[in-house]
Amino acid sequence: MTIKEIAKREPQSLIGRAFRFAEEAHHEQKRKSGEAYFNHVLETADVLNGLRLDEATIAAGLLHDAVEDCGIPSETIKSNFGEDVAFIVDGVTKLGHIKYRGEETKAENLRKLILALSQDLRVIFVKLADRLNNMRTLQHLPSPKQKRIALETDEIYAPLAYRLGMQNLSGELRDLAFPYLHPSEYKWLREETGEKYGERRSYLEKIKPAVERALKDHNITPLAIDFRAKRWSSLYQKLLRHDMDIEKIYDLIAIRIIVKTVGDCYAALGAIHGHWPPLPGRIKDYIAMPKPNGYRSIHTTVIGPKEKIVEIQIRTEEMHNEDENGIAAHWLYDQAHSRKEKMSPQKVTEEVSWVQQLRRWQAKLFGDRGNLNEFADAMKVDFFKDRIFAVTPKGDVIDLPYGATPVDFAYQIHSEIGDSCVGAKINNKIVPLNTRLMSGDLVQIITQKNKKPSEDWLKFVKTANAREHIKVALKQKRSVVSAHQAPKITEIKITVKPHLGLLKDITAVIARSHIHIKSVEMPSQPGSRFSIIKLQCSTADKEKIEKLVLKLKSSKEVKEINYKLI
């Protein structure tokens, strides 16, 4: 049933109400293609429904653009559709602020941010469904945008889906991105392999009955035998490893056998090998040794009828469902279902620790089983209790320790930004500089030229980086201040023809130059035609003094002026 049908049939259900709300909110909004915007959120919800996710997730799929694109307050979502839906929509909105432009070092941070943000994994499901629909309609966007979004999909979202075990979604995202990222290779691939695919397919169709017979001889009734065509993107990756020689790709199309039990998987493998000899070194038992993302199946490559090489994949229905839908598949398990087999020790992989964390959590989920509510709770995970991922206005992700403030954020970007920081905005609101950041916060640092850090900052910054830079900047500041507090003194000696109001005239000129006079001395010069005035001024500013000297010299009475720093 489509979401439209569900909404029609149960207008008062959460999905029905979200449907009408979204339709109203996006009313008259159009996408670049000219299509109604509502179709985008509807299709997003349909993808989520296809993953058989719960009502709250599907409702959030319908509402995911309502806050950002229609200006509907998050509180409205909460009061109308409940906390879960509002939380998911908020999460998706925050994810929308992140932009990836292909810097390798940032990709990992970005993936971490996405997981950290998605304390509820349903946020990721909605984001992935949203991205899938955006990729399917990418042809309507301008070319540079297509490239950026395709790259982000290929390097961030597809791997994320893969790590969550959602191979199907991950593969489709990759395939959709491929023509945008490698247009000429895509064209070449289609031309080179189009015929091959056809040939392979008809060959496999022909041998299918033989495979069925082989299984039957061993009393195995398969639930299904179908064919899996290799995806463009993974075919391309494989060709790169095999000198672009299509003849070396044995799994262009594979036969997939789905059986009832794990025991049947191994029995089927035996049956197949009894009929057709396996190629050495190509039997992969991902049931005993699942892939890091949880993938399970047995793969083998055999020399089939007419000496042709055939790849065969054997799995149970449950493994198949998991392979397609990953952890989303676990929504489907009923309470009675239990899995007795243990996960075998995982291969040591180069996976970073967060993936292992995720895996452990998944393993725990697999082991404990539990009902739907427990599963919903299990979805609310706290991957990175000790890390915060905040976002710059450009969409870059800054990785910080828990408790970090806008000042830490500023120094993390650049020491100059930290030093000249005077204020900060979080999610467009001005906040005190000691505010603790949260993952997904959009942080904007307000700077002012020639500003120096405040000593107070040392009381709340969390990163050593910020602390050190502040200390250095404060030292420089102190030395400037001390110079200011004990200013140098210039002594000016003026030789002048005495006249009435002499001193008054001279001090008036000095005052107009904004120079502070510390002391004045007029040593008596008996018998001299000239008086001498000695002034001490509280400045060492040569420029100021020079100007003053020029002014004083313009008076006819002044005969000579000397000055020196003391």
| Binding-site ranges for Mn ion (CB under 5 A) | 65, 130
Distance from C-alpha of 453 to C-alpha of 71, rounded to nearest angstrom: 37
CB closer to Mn ion, 40 vs 320: 40
Centroid of chain to Cα 356: 19
Closest Cα partner for 360 from 386, 383, 329, 387? Answer: 383
The token pair that represents 229 in the structure block: 């065509």
Active site residues: 68-69
Element (H, E) at 302: strand 298-303
Residue 542 burial (C-beta neighbours within 10 Å; 0-12, 13-18, 19+) = exposed
CB closer to Mn ion, 29 vs 237: 29
Q: How far is the CB of 48 from Mn ion (least distance, A)?
A: 12
Distance from C-alpha of 534 to C-alpha of 527, rounded to nearest angstrom: 18
Distance from C-alpha of 257 to C-alpha of 317, rounded to nearest angstrom: 10
Closest Cα partner for 217 from 268, 143, 290, 291? Answer: 268
Angle between helices 464-485 and 406-413 (to 10 degrees): 90
Q: How far is CA 457 from CA 442, 453, 462, in A?
A: 21, 7, 10
Please report the beta strands in 306-383, taking only residues with DSSP state E, as ranges in sequence order.
Answer: 309-316
Q: How far is the CB of 340 from Mn ion (least distance, A)?
A: 41
CB 442 within 8 A of CB 426: yes
Distance from C-alpha of 91 to C-alpha of 127, rounded to nearest angstrom: 9
Q: How far is the CB of 64 from Mn ion (least distance, A)?
A: 6
Quickly count: other Cβ atoms within 10 Å of residue 411's Cβ: 28
Q: How far is the CB of 131 from Mn ion (least distance, A)?
A: 8
Per-residue burial over 286-313, b = 16 or more CB atoms within 10 Å of its CB, e = otherwise: bbeebbbbbbbbbbbbbebeeeebbbbb
CB closer to Mn ion, 130 vs 154: 130
Distance from C-alpha of 420 to C-alpha of 491, rounded to nearest angstrom: 37
Q: How far is the CB of 126 from Mn ion (least distance, A)?
A: 9
CB 311 within 8 A of CB 235: no
SS3 content of the chain, % helix, strand, coil (to 5): 55, 15, 30
Closest residue to Mn ion, Cβ-based?
A: 130
The token pair that represents 372 in the structure block: 């739907």
CB closer to Mn ion, 60 vs 189: 60
Could you report how far apart the first and last alpha carbons of the chain are, in Å?
Answer: 92
Residue spans of alpha helices (H) in 153-243: 158-163, 167-181, 183-217, 232-241
Name residue 368's beta-bridge partners: none
Closest Cα partner for 506 from 523, 531, 543? Answer: 531
CB closer to Mn ion, 177 vs 510: 177
Q: How far is the CB of 40 from Mn ion (least distance, A)?
A: 6
Residue 452 burial (C-beta neighbours within 10 Å; 0-12, 13-18, 19+) = middle
CB 218 within 8 A of CB 268: yes
